[in-house]
Structures are given as structure tokens and as C-alpha cells.
Chain A
Amino acid sequence: MSHSKSEVEELVACFPGVQEGEEGGTRYFLLPKLELPEGCTPRRCDALLCPTNAHGYPSRLFFAEHISSPTSRNWNASNVRILERNWFAISWRIREGLRLAQMVRAHLEAFR
């Protein structure tokens, strides 16, 4: 699935330093040191956005480590290997049809 240039530009504008990679036919966006919501530990963490339904959810935001947050979440993906790194993710389903930057924000809502 390709994303429009404006969507990608918006993602870069909101989350500087974003990188992209591909594996198994799926495109991923790496968000280095993504700032997490207030009350989270750590406050910044590398995150990997999978904007398509490749991991059982319409989109998924993986993190380089477990995040502790004001709301306790179900970390149902641990040490998932993607692009030769290990990632962690919670069970959190967001609605489909969002732009890339909106997806990231919607996933981060889980940690408020």
C-alpha cells in the first residue's frame, strides 16, 4: 500500500528523523526517540509504525522497550523481530483510514 506524498511529508514534519524500511513486502516507518505522553517511562523511545494490516491489526505501533504509563496496558507482543530489531507492542486497535501522523497519535492515546 502506498501513502501519498503529503501524508509522508506530514509524518516527517510531525516526527523529525523518520526513516523507512521494508520487510516481507511490508513497509515500516522508524520514529527515532519518539516523545511519549506525560507520565510515561521512558519519555522517549524508538518506535516502529506498521501502517498496514500485517501484524493482525489495521496498523500497529511497536516500541523498542516496554513503556510504563498512567494506564496499564496489555503488552501482547514481546520481542517481535522486525528489521533485525526486537519490538514490543500493546493490544490497541485504532480505526482505519487515518493518515500516517494521525495513526501515530492515535496509538499514543493508549498511554495517556
Chain B
Amino acid sequence: MGERYSRQSFLGEDAQRNIRRVRAGVVGLGGGGSHVVQQLAHIGFERYALYDPDTVDRNGTNLNRLVGAVRRDAQDETPKTVVAERVIRGLLPAAEIDAHRLRWQEEPEPLRGCDVVVGCVDTFAERRELEAAMRRYLVPYIDVGMDVHVREGAPPRMVGQVILSMPGRPCMFCLGFLTEERLAEEARRYGDLGERPQVVWPNGVLASAVVGIAVDLVTGWSGQGDRLVYLSYDGNSGCLGPHKRLEYVEDGACPHYPISQTGDPVLRSVESRLEAR
């Protein structure tokens, strides 16, 4: 076991200790989340909180991208949490895995205990909720997603993003990724995404970027220090790089999630406030 991580000793003296001891949360174990879990396990993350209410599709439509799933899982409609756990335990039999076959909102407490959380969710609304919850408990949140826009008379356009939402620093609203317009448009469609195009390789590119950020957060190996992370993926050209918006974002304290609003919410009586004036 001592040799297993010898090739990643460049990560630093305390790196493997940190990797082993932190807890990683992964919300969404589909095309993106399954990749993330696999890589985290390879690197040696031993503690997990995992969430996904879904199963492998009986008709096998997610076998084109669900890492770790096999044909038998489609026949059995295996829960995605089971697939993820199997992948982790195949590498780390003694891993501590707290798997929830639920939406995270139905049992959110375990996520608060995580040191980093990765969100591989489908909607802007979910992203907003997850970021808000993680900000409250001072948990760095890494958001990832991809989309393929099918256009008439033109090739499809493949895009994606990886965003690090660090407590106290610019959030997804500050970065212009979450907007009222996007949330409103999504609500108008009742959040119905339909059958979105999904393939394995962009998920892999983005998941690898996510894991790279998670490892750097936990080990500091790159020496890059304090930085904003908002990566934009152009799947047509294959390029992944800093989003243009970073040139314009002010890297100050986040006005949407002030550090003073940390912790369990404190609701104030309006009547008392009015009387105090």
C-alpha cells in the first residue's frame, strides 16, 4: 500500500495524509459525478458522502457515460450510489462511504461535514441551493456541468464549466454564472430539461479538472495560492481555460454570502426589529 501513491509523492509531504483524512462530498453520480468518484478513489480519498436518488436506466441509456456501470446494472436497475460505492471499494475496501440514495436536500447534514463538495447537478436552481448551503458551513464547493446545444443548420455546440465557489470569495452569482434570468427561464420550463445530450468524453475532461482542483485545494501542490477558478470548456475545439469573465470580476468579499451569515440560519423577529428602531 505504501508504494501505491509513490508516483504522486510530488504532491507534497503531507499530501497523502490530507487526501486520506478529508471527506469529499459528491452530489450527483451520473455522467460527471461517476468520473469524479473514480478519480478521487484512484488518488486515495478515503472518506465520502455521496448522493443520487437515481438508478442505472433499465434501457441502458446511461451506459454510454456512467463510469463503473456495466450491462448487468441496467438489467438490475442498480442505484447509482451502489455503482459509485463499488468503484471506490474496488480500490479502497476500507473506505468510509456515507451513501444516500436521495436528493441531498432530504438529508443535508452529512454534506456539512465534508471538507470539499462537488456538485454534478442538472439545474441552476439546484446549483444555487447547494452553493448556499455550502457557503453557510464554510465548505468549498466545486460546480461542474456540460451541455450540448443542438442547432438547426449548424453543428451542435458543446460547452461546460467548472467553478470553485470558495466561502468569502466571489460566488456563482458574482461570476455571472447564476443569474435571475437563467433561474426564471428554468422555472418557466418547470425545470424540465428533457433528454439532454450527454457523452462520456467531455464529462471526463471536466471531471479531471474538478479533481485537479480538489487535490490542489487539499494539498496546495501547485503553489498557485489564492485564486479564482472558473473554467470554461469549449467541447467543439477541446479547449478548457479560464472564463473571460474572470477579467472583469472583482475579487473582493462576496456580497451575496457574507461571512457573517455563516452557520445555522438566524431568523430575526421583524416586530422586535421595528420596535427597536
Binding site for B on A (CB under 8 A): 5, 8-9, 11-12, 16-25, 29-30, 53-57, 74, 76, 79-84, 86, 91
Given contacts A30-B267, A81-B108, A82-B129, contact A22 B261 (CB under 8 A): yes
CB of B180 within 8 A of CB of A5, answer: no
Q: How far is the CA of A24 from the CA of B133 in the complex (A)?
A: 10
Stretch in B139-147, B183-191, B206-214 with 4+ CB within 8 Å of A: B183-191
B106 to chain A, nearest CB (A): 6
Given contacts A5-B274, A24-B173, A24-B256, contact A84 B136 (CB under 8 A): yes
| Interface residue B237 (Cβ < 8 Å from any Cβ of A) | no
| Interface residue B132 (Cβ < 8 Å from any Cβ of A) | yes
CB of A21 within 8 A of CB of B266, answer: yes
CB of B190 within 8 A of CB of A76, answer: yes
| Interface residue B103 (Cβ < 8 Å from any Cβ of A) | yes
The listed residue (B105, B184, B261, B273) touching A81 by CB distance below 8 A is B105
CB of A9 within 8 A of CB of B274, answer: yes
| Interface residue B265 (Cβ < 8 Å from any Cβ of A) | yes
Chain B's interface: helix, strand, loop or mixed, by majority?
helix
Interface size range of chain B in the complex: 35 or more
Residues on A with C-beta less than 8 A from B133 are: 81, 84
Task: Select the residue from A21, A24, A74, A84 with max chain B CB neighbours within 10 A.
Answer: A24
CB of A24 within 8 A of CB of B188, answer: no
Residues on A with C-beta less than 8 A from B180 are: 53-54
CB of B268 within 8 A of CB of A18, answer: no
A43 to chain B, nearest CB (A): 23
Q: How far is the CA of A42 from the CA of B216 in the complex (A)?
A: 50
CB of A19 within 8 A of CB of B270, answer: yes
CB of A20 within 8 A of CB of B105, answer: no
Map CB proximity to A onto B245-277 as digits: 1 under 8 Å, 0 otherwise: 000000000011100010011111111011001
CB of B105 within 8 A of CB of A8, answer: no
Q: How far is the CA of A54 from the CA of B186 in the complex (A)?
A: 12
Q: How far is the CA of A27 from the CA of B81 in the complex (A)?
A: 35
CB of A56 within 8 A of CB of B186, answer: yes
Given contacts A24-B132, A25-B255, contact A18 B271 (CB under 8 A): yes
Task: Select the residue from B105, B185, B255 with max chain A CB neighbours within 10 A.
Answer: B105
With CB as the reference atom, state the residue of chain B lying closest to A21.
B267
Given contacts A5-B274, A24-B132, A84-B133, contact A53 B267 (CB under 8 A): no
Residues on B with C-beta less than 8 A from A82 are: 129, 132
With CB as the reference atom, state the residue of chain A lying closest to B189.
A56
A72 to chain B, nearest CB (A): 16
Known: A9-B274, A12-B274, A25-B256. 9 other contacts (CB 8 A): A17-B271, A18-B270, A21-B267, A22-B261, A53-B180, A54-B180, A56-B183, A76-B187, A79-B105
Given contacts A76-B191, A81-B129, contact A21 B256 (CB under 8 A): no
With CB as the reference atom, state the residue of chain B lying closest to A76.
B190
Q: How far is the CA of A84 from the CA of B186 in the complex (A)?
A: 22
Q: How far is the CA of A59 from the CA of B245 in the complex (A)?
A: 29
Residues on B with C-beta less than 8 A from A84 are: 108, 133, 136, 264-265
Residues on A with C-beta less than 8 A from B131 are: 24
